Amino acid sequence: MSALEKISETERQTSTESTKAPAAKNSIPLRFITCGSVDDGKSTLIGRLLWDTKAVFDDQIGAIEKQPGQMGYADGSLEFANLLDGLQAEQEQGITIDVAYRYFSTPKRSFIVADTPGHAQYTKNMVTGASTADLAVLLIDARSGILEQTRRHANVVSLMGIKQVVLIINKIDLIDYDKARFDEISAEFTALAKSFDFTSITAIPTSAINGENVAFPATKNMPWYDGKTLLETLELAPKSNPRSMGFRFPVQRISRPDESFRGYQGTIAAGSIKPGDPITVLPSGEQANVSKIVTFDLVRNAGVQGDAVTLVLDRQIDISRGDMIVSNDDKPNLEYSYKAQLIALTDHGVQPDKQYWLKTSTRKQYVTVSAEEILNLDTATWETSDKIALNDLANVQLDFSTRIAFDTYLDNKTTGSFILIDPDTNNTIAGGMITKAIDNVERLTPKNETERTSFDMPHLIVEEFYRSEFYLKHKTEIGITGSHTKS
Amino acid sequence: MTDTITKPPLDPHLKALENEAIYIFREVAAEFQNPVMLYSVGKDSSVLLHLARKAFHPGPVPFPLLHVNTGWKFTEMIAFRDQITSEYGLDLISYTNPRGPEENITPFNHPRYTDIMKTEALRTALDNGGYDAAFGGARRDEEASRAKERIYSFRKSDHSWDPRNQRAELWSIYNGDIFKGESVRAFPLSNWTELDIWQYIKAEDIPIVPLYYAEERPFVERDGMIILAEDERLELAPGEIVQKDYIRFRTLGCFPLTGGVRSTASDIDQVIAEIQTATTSERQGRAIDKDKAGSMELKKREGYF
């Protein structure tokens, strides 16, 4: 942990102690996504969570009861699904059409749920919900067990970089609270999940309609289950921890209120910064030092990931929106080509010979996309393909005409993600994640000895070269001849 | 070097919401030619304005504020609006649909009052200014159709919203690409709840219209709603009597259409405590949502916020 991260920790503790307001939360909201098929009771589960945490108001129930042909109550309990489906077409057809966001909180934490449809177009909506989620709740109907769709959902969740999964085995009341069946499904899922990169899987037997193991334990009907309820699990789930890495600051806009002030506004995507720190601007490579970190409340002595700030530098250099200010000692990739995974979101798919706008954080640049493989979600294998259709998950190569800075998505979700925009329709047609930079040194590798380039350099520069990232990365490919001596 | 502490730091939950809102403000200001901020003078607008000032500091707020004035707002709202805009040096545009005074359209006599004086007025005001982006203070927790809104909500050239065909919105990468005549409504407060708003108002000491705090005020009860009666524009129906009690307002709109609640919560701590035990939603007092189920969705499809 760096010194700056410690400062941030101290600030947080102080804030917790000094805030006496009854519902002040000592953590940032947990964002999660719920995935399930149409009939496994997903809306009922979320409705139950909202109901039991008192996030539903009396007049909202009234509005549901007012709708013709729909009962506010079924089997003596509230028809929870109707709390959630907000659009008229959804209520008329009894299906969820678009991702909806729900908010609830407990004295310990607040939550943002992305509730996504379980049917057609689910990939597009799931990916949207999953892109900002820390955790995924996967729903299974205890009567039917694990279906192909469960595997698909787990696959998409894994691809989007979500590491924590809660497996809800719902409608357990309909199989007489059968422990053996619960154990069987949990074991089957754990086996299936081995191929994914999850760090935690928690299986919980629930009856959402009866509120068992959702917010309250079900000791009466499930004395054999001594694990946590869904709500407790969510309260205790850690926020996904970004990898510790160098400073990343995509520039949003330049602030020049008058001649005396020139600042760069943006949100810190990774790492931390303090006055005096040396920085590099990408793609230009120009360097400067940070002189001030300005915010509305105060001029700060540090900024950490997530902070929206204005940076002032110690010298005038050319910086525009879309540039990235980064630490000198830990930089992102800066290349012409990258490997990425992407998800096609519209009917036209992604065309191979077309130029699209790629937008990543604050930068927009033209790109061409070449498909290499498509994921077959039924078999969970990658198959060679040069076409990308709606809802396809694809491995692709991105080619740019000028260098662009990226981290991998695994390292940083902000500087490793992008969307594609079709310039003919302005629609967002794909979302993508950078998996690898393609090193342009490969292009320069000489074919034979006569093409080798020789440099004769003063020893100070040679030593600096030996310490450079470039040398450390490529020393096996670079032949060093001659001698150098220390003076 | 040490920070100059001017107030205790925000709790991390509110800080995260603030950071997100500032990011959205800066994105829109950077990507659009001619943005405007819808300013309705309510508590959410007060928070929105505070966040805008924070986002662009030390520069000024780089766009005008637009107030769609139906002519039937609470008197105290207009006084508050004028005071705040002059104190902060903001560029305020107030627009009233001329059909109101010309055709004598009032909340009492016209079934399409809201459509004409709010939705139609908003569309006309946006067209008049040629704005390609408009910030609004709508929150997803307010109402079912708003839960489906994007942060950047795309609008066709007639301002209509197509909830079944929205652009995908991944991570915090917002697609601001539009053709001439089209526009985007941007919602920096999308992920805030009513309680977040109040806790932020407290933490940041943001000025709001005093009607949010309980006071002894005159009112009439009409169709189960508590209507403020300190305005000569209110015509009493036969048999209606003016009562007096401690009341306050959870939301502010047109005074004849906005119901108050009986309350003694006269400061911010009491208001927060009251909200935490409330059994009805804040829009409960708003007639606009109640015409029929799905009412808000229909208004939004036609261009309402």
Q: Are residues A285 and A357 in the same domain?
A: no
Q: Are residues A260 and A388 in the same domain?
A: no
Adjacent-strand bridge partners of A248? A270, A326
Whether residues B175 and A112 touch (CB distance < 8 A) is answered with no
State pLDDT tens for residues A351-409.
988 999 999 999 999 999 999 999 987 777 899 998 999 888 999 999 999 999 999 99
Torsion of CA B267, B269, B271, B273, to 10 degrees: -150
Q: Are residues A432 and A469 in the same domain?
A: no
Q: Are residues A133 and A183 in the same domain?
A: yes
In a domain, A64, yes or no: yes
Strands A287-294 and A299-300: antiparallel
What values do phi and psi take at A14, rounded to 5? Answer: -55, -45
Identify the CA nearest to A431 among candidates A372, A373, A388. Answer: A388
pLDDT at A239: 82
pLDDT at A115: 85
Q: What is the mean pLDDT of residues B114-132?
A: 93
Report yes or no: B157 at the A interface, CB cutoff 8 Å. no
pLDDT at A150: 86
Q: Are residues A65 and A211 in the same domain?
A: yes
- Give me the amino acid identity at A64: I
pLDDT range class, residue A89, cuts 50, 70, 90? low
What values do phi and psi take at B302, rounded to 5? Answer: -85, -5
State pLDDT tens for residues A131-169.
999 999 999 999 999 988 888 889 889 999 999 999 999
* Euclidean distance between CA atoms A173 and A210, whole angstroms: 8
Report yes or no: A8 at the B interface, CB cutoff 8 Å. no
Which domain, by its residues, includes A406? 333-441
* Euclidean distance between CA atoms A6 and B285, whole angstroms: 47
Q: Residues of chain B with pLDDT > 90: what percent?
A: 67
What values do phi and psi take at A314, rounded to 5? Answer: -85, -5
pLDDT range class, residue A42, cuts 50, 70, 90? confident
* Euclidean distance between CA atoms A279 and A272, whole angstroms: 11
Which of A25, A87, A128 lies nearest to residue B170, judging by beta carbons? A128
pLDDT range class, residue B122, cuts 50, 70, 90? very high
State pLDDT tens for residues B134-186.
999 999 988 777 888 899 999 998 888 888 788 999 999 999 999 999 999 99
A84: left (phi over 0), alpha (psi -120 to 50) or beta: alpha
Whether residues B26 and A308 touch (CB distance < 8 A) is answered with yes
* Euclidean distance between CA atoms A206 and A199, whole angstroms: 22
* Euclidean distance between CA atoms A192 and B111, whole angstroms: 59
Whether residues B53 and A296 touch (CB distance < 8 A) is answered with yes
State pLDDT tens for residues B262-292.
999 999 999 999 988 776 667 666 655 555 5
Residue of B nearest to A267 (CA): B23
Quote the DSSP letter at residue A98: S
Whether residues B148 and A87 touch (CB distance < 8 A) is answered with yes
Q: What is the mean pLDDT of residues A251-266?
A: 96
Which of A127, A298, A345 lies nearest to residue B4, judging by beta carbons? A298
How many domains does chain A divide into? 4
In a domain, A22, yes or no: no
pLDDT at A195: 86
Query: Angle A33-A75-A37 (CA atoms, 0-180°, nearest 5)?
Result: 30
Give me chain A's average pLDDT, please: 82
In a domain, A454, yes or no: yes
Mutation site, A46, A90, A126, A301, interface B, largest B CB count within 10 A: A90
Q: Are residues A311 and A341 in the same domain?
A: no
| DSSP per-residue codes, A250-297 | EEEEEE-SSTT--EEEEE--BSEE-TT-EEEEETT--EEEEEEEE-SS
In a domain, A468, yes or no: yes
Residue of B nearest to A129 (CA): B170
The CA distances from residue A413 to A134, A241, B273, in Å, are 11, 11, 38
pLDDT at A120: 56
What is the set of domains in chain B, with CATH numbers?
12-197+294-301 (3.40.50.620), 211-289 (no CATH)
Which of A295, A308, A345 lies nearest to residue B23, judging by beta carbons? A308
* Residues of chain A contacting residue B141, judged by C-beta atoms under 8 Å apart: 102-103
Report yes or no: B237 at the A interface, CB cutoff 8 Å. no
Report yes or no: B215 at the A interface, CB cutoff 8 Å. no
pLDDT at A57: 61
Interface of A with B in 293-312 (CB under 8 A): 294-301, 306-308, 310
Q: Would the CA dihedral through B287, B290, B291, B297 be positive or negative?
A: positive
Report yes or no: A183 at the B interface, CB cutoff 8 Å. no
pLDDT at A332: 97
Q: Indicate the residue among A236, A258, A293 that finishes a domain.
A: A236
- Give me the amino acid identity at A314: D
Q: Are residues A138 and A204 in the same domain?
A: yes
